[in-house]
Amino acid sequence: MTVAGVVAPSKTVAAEPGHFGYGRAATPAEIAGWDIDVRGDDGAGLPAGQGSVVRGGNVYGAQCAACHGTFGEGEGRFPKLAGGIGTLTHDRPELTVGSYWPFAPTLWDYINRAMPMPAPHTLSADDVYALTAYILHLNDVVPGDFVADRNSLPKVRMPNRDSFGWTDPRPDTAATPCMSGCAGPAGVAITSSAEGKHLTPRTTGPLDTMQPK
Amino acid sequence: MRAGFWRGIPLAKRTPSLGRRTFLRLGAAVTGALALRQGHAETPITSPPADAPWSQTVGPGVVDRPYGRPAEAEAGVIRRNVPWLTAGTESSISFSPLQDLHGIITPNGLFFERYHAGRPEVDPEQHRLMIHGMVERPLILSMDDIVRFPSQSRIHFIECPANGGMEWRAAQLNSLQFTHGMISCAEWTGVKLSTLLDEVGVRREARWAMVEGADGAHMNRSLPLDKCLDDCLVVYAQNGEALRPEQGYPLRLVVPGWEGNVSIKWLRRIKLGDRPWYTREETSKYTDLMPDGTSRGFTWLIDAKSVITFPCPEKPLHEPRLYEIRGLAWSGNGKVRQVDVSTDGGVSWQRAALHDPVLSKALTRFTLAWRWDGGPALLQSRVVDETGYVQPTIAQLRASRGTNSVYHNNSIQTWQIKPDGSVFDVQLS
């Protein structure tokens, strides 16, 4: 079914019920309450409000530092938020807001919808702007006097912005279903084994709480 | 006894008193003979010629277990996690015990879990699905409304693209459950997403949908409208009963053949737009980092993949004899066409038998009879799907993507069989 096939001219359809008529029209107020998404690349959907780096530092200390570390270094296995710029080609790359995220408004959207983890979507728009400004500043992406709002945030250019391709290039392997004599001249050799690595939790009895040695 | 169904239930509740007395009496009577024959003085004979104690008593009646649960001896067959993998269990993953499963359908209690903000307890009376954005008639649907629409049932797998993600650099986890258990398969029942989009009227300029959950993460992803209209389902049932809370009760999206995280659970909102949203879960996560520092985004498809489920590290061989190699194959691009099995590390291959039903974007069972001679062996399976795509080796994947791309490791798995029958996760050159 094509999109065009579904849609009749909008002026006539808008006043008619759907094919089944189940449910009811969403009111503007209902839509406004749940319509929280902010588009990453251009910030469409960003609300009114603003927040400075300085204010963000205070909010961060109260709401974020316990897990993400005072300077965004990440406590334990919680995500690191800052640093790692230039490491994406390294053997052990560090993927952070500064080194990896392509779009600044995505940061506002994610903090707003999912953080702080114990009480998601409870921060004011101003606090979310302030946190966004602070985390960008931790990454040296914006200066210390930066104030984030719906106009300034989409203009922030993230260091890794142009490194993403948004069209899937797979299939990117060209295996053939060889049935016999398939090994190369070097034959078959085991290059690694999980034996003896002590990383595997037990798969019988009670749940394991093991940590790597 | 374990962290599951039976923990905290007194022994007396589990064993009917009549049966237990009979069991003990019989056990005492046969102890002498058994001690001589097997050296296990505690074990009563329950096999021929003896009549087992459960054959000499009456069991609990109907509704003793009004919902039902697995046999007590199966108590170890549970979802398990890798404690060192994540900071906590709220944003984490658990793995299905594939080594103990026998079909293409994953029992609802064993379907793998992935949460981004824990498992919400959603009140179905208050749950709503809102559809808005580039539509003619923004709509709010209750669960009662959604169940009224024409219904569809289909069997599809859901796989996390991080399945096998710990194995990119090297063989690390000696377990089928932990190398491959981020996949499960169920019969899903609900309404076609295209039916709901017909109902609201898609505006001409719409090209994308943003789908969002009611969990604390407000988990959201962008989907091309073409996929939404093709085969996506908005489902309320899983294997014939209401969705489990772990799988999105009361309502989730199922996006057949695509990475699991786009099948948004606890689905509460669908918004149509003309461009993608570039959410956190499709920029900072679920993107694939290449060796040159570039990244691939919107890599939704689950490429064809297969794995031998017997033998495996959890289910080793014993004496040399005839065995049935068993496994599962699947493709996000349609049906499985063929599966080949090698016992010599990929030098030679034999065609395995596929078992009905062979369904599009669903787990498919394969088997091959194999006489193990007691020598070392390297077992592999390789799937070809209906598009002709051939499952690659880990070496071929690394040549294309390096070792830091985390997601979409669909490589051929190698199980090393040692002469004592033990099985290990290994990788080959």
What digits encode the pLDDT tens for the residues A64-97? 999 999 999 999 999 999 999 999 999 999 999 9
**The pLDDT of residue A177 is above 50:** yes
Q: A165 and B175 in contact by Cβ < 8 A?
A: no
Q: Which pLDDT tens digit goes with each residue over B169-209?
A: 999 999 999 999 999 999 999 999 999 999 999 999 999 99
Together in a domain, B242 and B313 = no
End-of-domain residue from the set B240, B264, B296: B296
Q: B348 and A179 in contact by Cβ < 8 A?
A: yes
Q: How many Å apart are CA B251 and CA B266, to the nearest integer?
A: 5
Residue B87 lies in a domain: no
Tokens of A124: 């004011």
Q: Other CB atoms closer than 10 Å to residue B100's CB: what's the count?
A: 18
Peptide bond before A212: cis, by omega within 30 degrees of 0?
Answer: no
Q: How many Å apart are CA B192 and CA B194, to the nearest integer?
A: 5
Residue B337 lies in a domain: yes
Q: B173 and A200 in contact by Cβ < 8 A?
A: yes
Residue whose entry in the numeric block shows the structure tokens 């689905």: B267
Range of the domain at B289: 92-296
The confidence score (pLDDT) of residue B400 equals 97
Instruction: Using CB atoms, pick whichever of A25, A34, A191 lies closest to residue B429.
Output: A191
Q: A13 and B201 in contact by Cβ < 8 A?
A: yes
Quote the number of domains for chain B. Answer: 3
Instruction: Using CB atoms, pick whichever of B99, B218, B391 lies closest to residue A113.
Output: B218
- A114 — pLDDT class (breaks 50, 70, 90): very high
Residue B65 lies in a domain: no
Together in a domain, B406 and B333 = yes
Q: Which pLDDT tens digit goes with each residue over B306-353?
A: 999 999 999 999 999 999 999 999 999 999 999 999 999 999 999 999
Q: Which domains does chain A have, with CATH numbers?
A: 51-161 (1.10.760.10)
Mean pLDDT along residues B240-252? 98
Instruction: Using CB atoms, pick whichever of A120, A165, A176 lies closest to residue B296.
Output: A165
Together in a domain, B142 and B163 = yes
Sign of CA dihedral B159, B170, B339, B286: positive
Task: Tally the residues of chain B.
Answer: 429
Average pLDDT, chain B: 92
Residue B4 lies in a domain: yes
- B37 — pLDDT class (breaks 50, 70, 90): very low
Together in a domain, B403 and B348 = yes
Q: A120 and B216 in contact by Cβ < 8 A?
A: yes
- A16 — pLDDT class (breaks 50, 70, 90): low
Q: How far is B16 from chain A (nearest CA, A)?
A: 24
Please report how many Cα atoms fall inside a 13 Å half-sphere around the Cα of residue A114, on the Cβ side.
22
Together in a domain, B147 and B258 = yes
Q: How far is B166 from chain A (nearest CA, A)?
A: 11
Query: What kind and span of H or E run contains B227?
Result: helix B225-230
Peptide bond before B357: cis, by omega within 30 degrees of 0?
Answer: yes
User: Of the candidates B288, B168, B289, B408, which has an alpha carbon nearest to the alpha carbon of residue A89?
Assistant: B289
- 3-class secondary-structure state, position B221: strand
- pLDDT greater at residue B137 or residue A4: B137
Which string of DSSP letters, residue by residue, matches B96-155? --GGG--SSSPPGGGS--EESS------TTT-EEEEEESBSS-EEEEHHHHHHSPPEEEE
Together in a domain, B238 and B264 = yes
Together in a domain, B5 and B27 = yes
The confidence score (pLDDT) of residue B41 equals 55
Q: Which residues are registered as beta bridge partners of B209?
A: B223, B272
Together in a domain, B39 and B108 = no
CATH number, domain with residue B231: 3.90.420.10
Together in a domain, B322 and B383 = yes
